[in-house]
């Protein structure tokens, strides 16, 4: 599941594996983010595609309920803009900082719905970003951040849907793809 159109929903509950919910990008933006991640993320740790995480750990035993909520909401949304206005230094990595009021509203809506099931990490403030480098020594991270910042130009991307994943301790397993169809 990367940027292809069309909803795909898995019917298995994933044996209770935690769920991760991410945003799907338009194909060109995904290609850019993923290319930057492949270029700068340590290859021995780069198991997953470029992504913007909305929730890091939703209860896998509630898969059917969560997938239905995501499918229902995605079906009522039109694709919406994402503003990439800068880079964020992560200490041991670098990320693109994302600004999008529709994204913040969508995430807030889901957070309110799933509040009893959220982990501490998912209850914290939402600071949307796409990580392109992580888990490197701080000097290497600072060097990349400064180099990319020197030539950074703001750009736009488009949110086109939502992706649901099973987390099994390594590479993520696709669990559902939900296009924004604006119905």
> What is residue 14's predicted lDDT score, i.e. its pLDDT?
52
Per residue in 99-121, pLDDT (tens digit) is 999 999 999 999 999 999 999 99
pLDDT at residue 134 in the model: 96
pLDDT at site 4: 36
Proportion of the chain above pLDDT 90, given as a percent? 85
Annotate the chain with DSSP letters as a single string.
--S-SS-EE--S-GGG--EEEEEEE-HHHHHHHHHHHHHHS-GGG--S---EEEEEEE-GGGHHHHHHHHHHHHHTPPPEEEEEEEEEE-SS-EEEEEE-HHHHHHHHHHHHHTGGG--HHHHSPP--EEEEE-SS-HHHHHHHHHHHHHH---EEEEEEEEEEEEE-SSSEEEEEEEE----
Confidence (pLDDT) at 72: 97
pTM of the model: 0.91
Mean local confidence (pLDDT), 83-94: 97
Domain boundaries, the chain: 8-83+101-127+157-179
Tell me the percentage of the chain whose pLDDT exceeds 70. Answer: 91
pLDDT at 161 over 50: yes
Confidence (pLDDT) at 3: 37
Res. 7: pLDDT tops 80: no
Task: Tell me the pLDDT tens digit for each residue of 26-61.
Answer: 999 999 999 999 999 998 888 899 999 999 999 999
pLDDT band for position 183 (cuts 50, 70, 90): low
């Amino acid at each position: 599941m990367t940027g292809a159109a069309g909803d795909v929903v898995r019917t298995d509950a994933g044996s209770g594996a935690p769920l991760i919910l991410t945003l799907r990008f338009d194909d060109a933006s995904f290609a850019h983010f993923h290319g930057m991640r492949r270029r700068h993320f340590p290859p021995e740790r780069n198991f997953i595609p470029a992504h913007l995480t909305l929730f890091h750990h939703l209860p896998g035993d509630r898969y059917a309920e969560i997938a239905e909520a995501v499918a229902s909401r995605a079906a009522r949304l039109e694709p919406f803009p994402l503003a990439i206005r800068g880079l964020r230094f992560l200490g041991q990595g670098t990320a693109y900082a994302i600004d999008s009021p529709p994204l913040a509203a969508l995430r807030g809506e889901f957070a309110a719905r799933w509040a009893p099931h959220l982990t501490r990490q998912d209850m914290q403030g939402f600071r949307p970003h796409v990580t392109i480098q992580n888990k490197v020594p701080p000097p290497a991270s600072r060097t990349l951040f400064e180099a990319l910042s020197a030539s950074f130009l703001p750009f736009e991307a488009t949110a086109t849907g939502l992706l649901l994943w099973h987390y099994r301790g390594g590479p993520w397993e696709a669990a559902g793809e939900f296009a924004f169809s604006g119905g």
